[in-house]
Structure 1
Amino acid sequence: AGIIQRQQSSFVVGFGNTNKIMATPGGFRAGTAAIPSSQVEISVMCRNLINLDMLSKSDPMCVMYTMDIKSQKYIEYSRTETIMDNLNPEFARKFVIDYFFEEAQKLKFEVYDIDSASRNLSQHDFVGSIELTLGEIVGTVGGCVIKKLRGNCDGDRGSIILRAEELSSCKEIALIQLKGTGLDQKNWWGLFGKSDPFLTFYRANEDNSYTVVHRTEHIMSTLNPEWKSFNIPLKTLCNGDYDRSIKVECYDWNSSGNHELIGQFITNVREMSSGGSKVFELRNALSKKKKASGQIHVLSFRIETQSTFIDYVRGGMQLNFTVAVDFTASNGNPQSSTSLHYNNPYQQNQYAAAISSVGEILQDYDSDKMYPALGFGARMPDGTVSHEFALNFNPQNPFCSGVDGILAAYYHSLNSVQLYGPTNFAPVINHVAKFAAAVRDGSEYFVLLIITDGIITDMPQTKTAIVSASILPMSIIIVGVGNADFTAMDELDGDDVRLSSQGRYAERDIVQFVPFRNFLSGGGSMHVSQAFLAKEVLAEVPDQIISYMKRYNIKPRPPKPSPIPGSRPVAPIQQAPRAQQAPPYP
């Protein structure tokens, strides 16, 4: 288990008893390189964490970092969910990372006690951390490592348990809805005490242990709950193995975090998807009762093939990229070298670097490479203040040719307007939303990049605009430049708490915010910083596209034909006409 071995000239990576042949004799090509790699899922549990809260238990979350080979610095990779009031958390959100045998992939895991909704880790209590390599986890028997957390002071901080498993290439997802009947009553106060039930799903490991893969919501005061339907990739639920054991536990939720087991059952995907009415009896070995502690009914269990971002791209989906630049006075006089808009002849400023890094990635998915470029917060030559003006000063056609065209229009605007204020986002968001609302069939998707140096002054209007745009084929990337306090931006990036406005919640998380300063390497190469920035801000876009397509049941179109050498040329594809004119500005 967990070994690298040679078998009949094939390179094999083994995780437990599951071996994946990375290169076979039949695939041998002299003079070429074949990189043996796999995609690995890392599950995280903690045990006996130190309690950092006075009146309750800690609310732990785990952050994973990967080390950049060039800068030798750790870069945040992803975070788990926060589990309330629990010193022995088992996180359902996993870390999925590419594994390369020939690289020393250094990882760091940090555990925090979360005290607020802020994504700024300095606002939370540090529990402890460990550093190790991915190979150390993969190479351990059973793919499981247990280590003591190290903190800022002496004393036992608790342990972290990391388990790695190679993921299958399964693209199927399960759509599941369950209900319970006749559950045991766990709340005994009053004459009509009831339970607050929720379900936890586990998949079996090869060492007969189980790993959490999903939790439902808890439903208050009922013995006959009906949980919301949910979908889960089969590679998460059972790694694509229909016969792999799945344990389902039903708990009575308690605000203290001491949830009480009602009962459990064991099944597998093949059994649950075999059709017919499925009812499972809950059993609790700790209960003195000999009878079942309730029943779980499978209302629906459907397996579908999950389409990927690449499927939609191959079907002809176009990504439409729009830039909106902050021209408020807080950026400083553009003629001064201290200004965030200063045109340094030797290196791009942060605005230009953000435009280049994101634009150069997205331009590969746009056939005409014509991009609207907007500005906001500037005083125009006629004395008016605009929060939605074309950088090329052509309001009827604000499109620029490629990334170079955007940069040229940006530099020209700096010499043509006066930096002013305030910092309003809603006008540019609503501008792009008008175009997205006109093309909702999945043939086009819109990405708005907002680059800003300061705090939003129209936060209520911006939240309303984002919530309205969440039903559209649209994503918003916000890059903060300079050293301002961007804490308020975390509210817009709904990774943990869904954004709402006037009682209405966003249907999808469509915003990604990052401060550029997190990627500046203190005198290092701006090109390296740009690469890290692009990776961070664009990481969520494919999933946001998939979430839109799934919500509106839009399937990928058949792949577009491509010319084959030596054959008759393929007729050009007639694409739907794109809107080439922006709405008139007020």
Structure 2
Amino acid sequence: MPPKLSFSLSRYHWLKPFFSSYRGIPGKKCGTIVLSAEELGNCRDVATMQFCANKLDKKDFFGKSDPFMVFYRSNEDGTFTICHKTEVVKNTLNPVWQSFAIPVRALCNGDYDRTIKVEVYDWDRDGSHDFIGEFTTSYRELARGQSQFNVYEVVNPKKKMKKKKYINSGTVSNIILTLNEQRAVLNFFLSSLAGNPSQSTSLHYMNPYQLNAYAMALKAVGEIIQDYDSDKMFPALGFGAKIPPDSRVSHEFPLNGNSDNPHCSGIEGILEAYHQSLKTVQLYGPTNFAPVVNHVARYVLEEKYQYFLIMSCRLFQQSMVELDGDDIRISSRGKIAERDIVQFVPFRDYIDRTGNHVLSMARLAKDVLAEIPDQFISYMKGRGIKPSPAPPPYTPTGHTLQTEI
């Protein structure tokens, strides 16, 4: 009987149809499946690459070696996933592999600085391929093309530990890398925009004399909506960054650094926490908005709020437009959304050319919040929630009102 697999899909209910054939055995633990997911980047570039090697280790008793390479994309959790295998070049220690095309998204998910691991093997007919060695690189390094910077030592860690005089098991060189230049420039540009906040090219740049685009958006909308909250304490969460002390990638971290209490006092408290977080975290993409939405959903259920507003500032996230149901109401698995609950407003359309930031912020806030009154009323009516009776008119105690004619 083939083994049965049992696992929980509570967080990934949309995958149930794919695993409906797997059933557990009652009363018996059959094993565990660990499911990892990562948001795909918007990069659509395709890179064409070609590699050669020199003086690889001889692995075959009769002959030399039959080398091939395996490319691995690094994941956010530190694991690696195979993304490409070259063909086998028979009986040589100096192979030249054929050029191949690969989507940059498959290679590094559009992150030019993400680690790419490459392993070199000697092919064996029985499948027990002999490990020759490995090296790591990144797409940004590969994009330099044929040069001394793209000659990599193929190292076998076990041989390096055993042999003191061991240097390497050969070298691999990048011969060709071609890419649609226009799109490559665009991706480097976007990378720099979201990059180091200390550089003026970043939209997160902390200019001592004026607010950056994110701070302007937060301030424009936040100064209005904060007056509708009784205590003006707002949870402020960040996503898409490596956070201290272990530099793990997080898409759900408190801007104030306090996991137990991510609340900030008013919009000024949020801005202060935002600026402080830029000094401690390292921005890292692609970003994933889902954990923040789930965090807010859990919070709303625990605190029994009836209505909650999420404000998000994103950089060039055109896919957010698809969630804005002004023209077509979004749907999922045949179920149509009850209301249009997303309002997407591109900040760049509201920059006043004369430099009048006050006017820009006022226009931005007006359009961001335009749909909330109707949305709120629709929500309350749909659930039969009626407004509380109006309070009686205020009359100062101990005074008699007199009117003179």
Q: Work out which of the two has the higher radius of gyration on C-alpha atoms and give 1 or 2.
A: 2
Task: Give TM-score, length-normalised by structure 2.
Answer: 0.49
Task: Give TM-score, length-normalised by structure 1.
Answer: 0.34
Question: Structure 1 or 2: larger helix share?
Answer: 2
Question: Structure 1 or 2: larger strand share?
Answer: 1
